[in-house]
Amino acid sequence: MTNEATNPNESKKKIYDLEERTARFGEAVIDFVKSLPKNTITIPLISQLMRSGTSIGANYLEADGASTKKDFHYKITISRKEAKETKHWFRMIAHAVPEKAEEARVLWKEAQEFVFIFSSILK
């Protein structure tokens, strides 16, 4: 079950369960990648985006199950690093496939939210 709250100014619910939120983001990355044209420029970008975008949640799960504070800190740091890298690959794809730039921008914003969240956790 997720913790969700509705802002009266927004039609979408905000998900506060990071496990669920990062999983949904990974699924959104997969769906986005499926919609991209496959050519010599996009294939390497797609591969990189898939790795970083789907590993945010995996590393968060690792952190959540950490046995020490040091291990938790390390895994959250990796989650933040992967979120930053994901932003980079969305930018490159938006440049390579301009017709997908707006969709990439929406997902880029969610990756940026993860950077903020993981940075806050680390403080």
Cα–Cα–Cα angle for 23, 111, 72, nearest 5°? Answer: 65
Task: Name residues whose C-beta falls within 8 Å of residue 16's C-beta, 6 or more positions apart in sequence.
Answer: 2, 3, 4, 5
Question: Residue 13 CB: number of other CB atoms within 10 A?
Answer: 12
pLDDT for 12? 57
What is the pLDDT, as a whole number, of residue 1?
36
Whole-number Å distance between alpha carbons of 96 and 80: 25
Cα of 52 vs its chain's centroid, Å:
8
Distance CA(13)–CA(25), nearest Å, equals 14
Query: How far is it between the farthest Cα atoms of the chain?
Result: 45
Q: Provide the 10 A C-beta neighbour count for residue 83.
A: 27
pLDDT, averaged per 10 consecutive residues of the chain (123 residues), comes to 44 73 98 98 98 98 95 97 98 98 98 98 94
Name residue, tokens 């390497």.
Answer: 44
Please tell me the predicted confidence (pLDDT) of residue 37: 97
pLDDT of amino acid 3: 45
Determine the pLDDT at residue 16.
73
Q: pLDDT value at position 15?
A: 57
